[in-house]
Structure 1
Amino acid sequence: RTLTHEGRERGYRLHVPESLDFGQPAALVLSLHGGGGNADLHRRMDGFEELADEKGFIVVYPNGTGKLQNAILTWNGGTCCGYAQQNNVDDVGFIRALIAELESEYAIDPQRIYVTGMSNGGIMAYRLACEASDLIAAIAPVAGTLNYEPCQPAQPVSVIHFHGMDDTHLPYDGGVGADSLIGVDFASVQESLDFWMTFNGCNPQPQTETFADIRHQVWDECRQETAVELYTIIGGKHAWPGSAGPAWAGGDEPTQTISASELIWEFFAAHSKP
């Protein structure tokens, strides 16, 4: 399916479970591909279509932009990435238009609109939390940090973030990744979470549990019942935890200790808009 925005034809993949009962408004999850990817590659990796069938929500996979229509696509997440950033593409406007189009066709619960994304898609999820907090209840960036300034959200947004400590594309501690092709100086994971923990008014002392290669931290007591959580994969690289394989051919292998997608849906289900 396509939507024209700013004179560009933008593609997206939509998955509506056959079992969905539209007597009840459904949650909507937007899942954003990584830089250089596209909606088709991403939907085969993240497993959200199967989860949507099981849990009863709608999932949409939008495409970023690039020189080609359907390959090597990026999102304008602020200081990153690629074509979308260089051409100052209004991806926030596109996502707003896409949500409005889906709301006109389906009974979508406006309190339960969520965004997740991998890498550049995670960076874009953070930008959407900054600029579309009126629409979005929670975000789930995987291997992507907050690289948009000034971030001035109108409302608190819940955040769950997944990141490998040994990520060489988008480093856990920020800076330029050793294997990064773009040379962007990225914000760190902690800087990204500190912003939202402070803005959401959370308790700055996290509850921490560690198991196998996972460190899980929760900042709670946030305003409007929001939350901020971080799953750090010790020794983990640039990958989507629990997915069947690397995010792209030759990419890093994901941990199988946790399923990011299942944890993301649990978090989304617990955090609708106040």
Structure 2
Amino acid sequence: MKLLILLLILIAGPVAAMTPEERSCEGVEPCMIGDRSYHLRVPDDWDGMTPLPVMLHFHGWQRQGTLTIRHPRISDATRRRGVLLIAPNGLGRSWDFWRPGTDDVGFARAVLEDVKARYPIVEDQVFVSGYSWGSNMAWRFVCEDGADIAALLAISGTLEQTEDCETAPKEVRQVYGLSDPVLDFPFGPNGESDYPVFLWRERYGCGESRALGPWQQVPFLTLERTIWEACDTGRVSLDLHPGGHFIPHGWIARQLDELLGLPNSYP
């Protein structure tokens, strides 16, 4: 199916963005690609013409895109910052990220191309995100087809740090709870707490890290940020918190503010 979808895209070639009347899917109404689908959430006060930054977010296990577009920690962050939210639906409410070459990578690429046919987007502001198993899937996607992705925003999930990635996004931002009871925190071989981003540090040729210290979006959760900026290419940041398996309040919002050069705000 992946090859068929990509072939159809190549045959169709570049097209102008659809008019508002031609955009028949939005919100809970799914956009169809063959026998698969995704959902969209357009930002508040969009004028219908201005190109949009995009965030494609992979849902967690046993969820669907309808939850993503209504989730306050996801869609509130995108819609208030002028970002078009894309929420693909996984087969069986899950994702196939375990091995290279899965159809879900091709499906996600087809979703992005379909969105480009429907909406004007900012080509160098395409972000890929995910939570839990969706975070694992986001890693898989940028590992295999992420050369044009501006940033990976990964929440409570990674791939094995020994993966050999063909591609990489321009930047990686990861958040993880040290007490995660669902996807155990991936400490390094000697207990290193910076191991969740080891793969990307190696891929980018990063040198020493720099601790930025604690920060908060809400008073009941403190995160500690470490960044790697002395890299041959790319940039990596890792936010750690003492909690478990959840999307931290305001985390996506904070990343988008920083990536888009906006004043930090909440939510």
Same fold? TM cut 0.5: yes
* Equivalence map 1:136-151=2 (5 Å): 136-147=149-160, 150-151=163-164
- Provide the C-alpha distance between the structure 2 equivalents of 1:189 and 1:117, rounded to a whole number of angstroms: 21
Query: Matched residue of 1:100: which SS?
Result: helix
Matching residue within 59, 79, 98 for 1:78: 98
The two structures have a TM-score, normalised by structure 1, of 0.73
For the pair 1:230 / 2:238, whether they are aligned, the reply is: yes
How does 1:27-66 map onto structure 2 within 5 Å?
Answer: 27-66=53-92
Alignment of 1:127-206 (within 5 A): 127-147=140-160, 150-173=163-186, 190-206=194-210
Contact 1:218 1:229 in 2 (8 A): yes
Tell me the C-alpha RMSD between the 2 structures. 2.6
| Identical aligned residues as a percent | 26
**Conservation of the 8 A alpha-carbon contact between 1:77 and 1:148:** no
Query: 1: CA distance between counterparts of 2:258 and 2:108?
Result: 21
Equivalent runs, 1:7-18 vs 2, <5 Å: 9-17=35-43
Matches within 5 A, 1:252-271: 259-269=250-260
**Alpha carbons 2:33, 2:111 under 8 Å: kept:** no
Matched positions, count = 224
Q: 1:37 to 1:156 in 2, by over 3 A?
A: closer
Deviations 1:180-233 (A, max 9, x none): xxxxxxxx9744411111212323323241356421111113345x32111111
Contact persistence 2:209–2:226 (CA under 8 A): no
1:83-98 counterparts in 2 under 5 A?
A: 89-98=102-111
Structure 1: stretches of 5+ with no match in the other structure: 67-72, 80-84, 176-187, 243-258
Task: Give the greater-gyration-radius structure (CA).
Answer: 2
With normalisation by structure 2, the TM-score equals 0.74
Aligned AA (2:251): A
Structure 1 residues 219, 75: CA separation in 2 closer, same or farther (over 3 Å shift)? same
Q: Against the structure 1 CA distance between its residues 58 and 189, is the aligned structure 2 distance closer, same or farther, given a 3 Å change threshold?
A: farther
**Aligned with 2:247 (options 231, 240, 255):** 240
Aligned to 1:160, what secondary structure does the other structure show? Answer: strand
1:3 aligned onto 2:10: no
Does residue 220 of structure 1 match 2:229? yes
Query: SS where residue 136 of structure 2 aligns?
Result: helix
The amino acid that maps onto 1:196 is W
